[in-house]
Amino acid sequence: MSQSIKHHLTDELLMAYAAGSLPEAFDLMVATHLSLCDHCRARAESYEAVGGHVLDAQPDAVSMSDTSLAATMALISQGAPTPKPARPGCAILPTPLQDYVGGTVDDIQWKPIGMGVKQAILPTSKEATARLLFIPAGVAVPDHSHNGTELTMVLQGAFSDEVDRFARGDVEIADEDLHHTPTADITEDCICLAVTDAPLKFSKLMPRLFQPFLRI
């Protein structure tokens, strides 16, 4: 899968993920992409290693005692393991997303938002919003720009806009400078994970009228 991914996460996003400073919705996006992309996963691990080295090098860092590991392992062994319920495999949703959906694509609670497009808002903290989008083959999302940052990752099918074509695993990073009209490929319905830290800016009246109700 990683070899076919052409659109990756930025260094800034990966460093923020390693530092634990991203909103939950953006954390979910990064974790989902890393589950498919060896290239970005290796970069993220390198940033985590650098962060650990920086912490160890701090002059006021507290050294662990020689018995810390043994004491921790002893505490772990005293607790009964909590088995996770087995979940059916899903070729579309990577594991981080299955945890939020509570299963597979069949378990997604879709809600129509017009033109055959459907969405499912995922439960995350209020700093940003995460949603799954279902776009029928050949259908375009209303043209829009952005008040903040929008990350969109393809899980099934593909879409194209003024920037490029994005297929499974690809992430499009949009900011205030991008005005686009994402359109699903005619050959297959498109499912995406999209996260935003601010409402979108729609050009046409009808999307703007329904925007507060759809939480887009």
The predicted pLDDT at position 213 comes to 62
Cβ(19)–Cβ(51) below 8 Å: yes
Domain CATH for 177:
2.60.120.10
Residue 182, CA atoms < 13 Å, CB-side half-sphere? 31
Q: Is the pLDDT of residue 93 over 80?
A: yes
Is the pLDDT higher at 204 or at 194? 194
The reply to whether 132 falls in a domain is yes
User: Six-digit token pair at 146?
Assistant: 């952005």
- DSSP secondary structure, the chain, as one string: -GGG------HHHHHHHHHT-S-HHHHHHHHHHHTT-HHHHHHHHHHHHHHHHHHHT-TTPPPPPTTHHHHHHHHHHHSPP-PPPP----SSS-HHHHHHHTSSGGG---EEEETTEEEEEE---TTSEEEEEEE-TT-BPPPEEESS-EEEEEEESEEE-SS-EEEBT-EEEE-TT--B--EE-TTS-EEEEEEESS-EEESSHHHHHHHHHHT-
Question: CA-to-CA distance for 92 and 11, rounded, in angstroms?
Answer: 26
Look at 24-28, 57-61, 193-197 and tell me which has the smallest mean pLDDT.
57-61
**Overall domain count for the chain:** 1
Q: Is the pLDDT of residue 16 over 80?
A: yes
Strand order in the sheet with 158-160: 165-167, 158-160, 183-184
Q: Is the pLDDT of residue 114 over 60?
A: yes
The reply to whether 107 falls in a domain is yes
What's the pLDDT band for 12 if we cut at 50, 70, 90?
very high
The reply to whether 201 falls in a domain is yes
Q: Is the pLDDT of residue 149 over 60?
A: yes
For residues 132-150, give the mean pLDDT: 95
**Full residue range of the structural domain in which residue 203 is found:** 103-214
The reply to whether 51 falls in a domain is no
Q: Position 132: which residue type?
A: L
- pLDDT > 90 fraction of the chain, expressed in percent and rounded: 69
The predicted pLDDT at position 55 comes to 47
The reply to whether 124 falls in a domain is yes
pTM for the full predicted model: 0.83
Q: Is the pLDDT of residue 144 over 70?
A: yes
Question: CA-to-CA distance for 183 and 135, rounded, in angstroms?
Answer: 8
The reply to whether 40 falls in a domain is no
The predicted pLDDT at position 215 comes to 74
Cβ(161)–Cβ(146) below 8 Å: no
The predicted pLDDT at position 106 comes to 94
The reply to whether 117 falls in a domain is yes
The predicted pLDDT at position 53 comes to 46
Look at 41-45, 51-55, 133-137 and tell me which has the smallest mean pLDDT.
51-55
For residues 71-84, give the mean pLDDT: 68
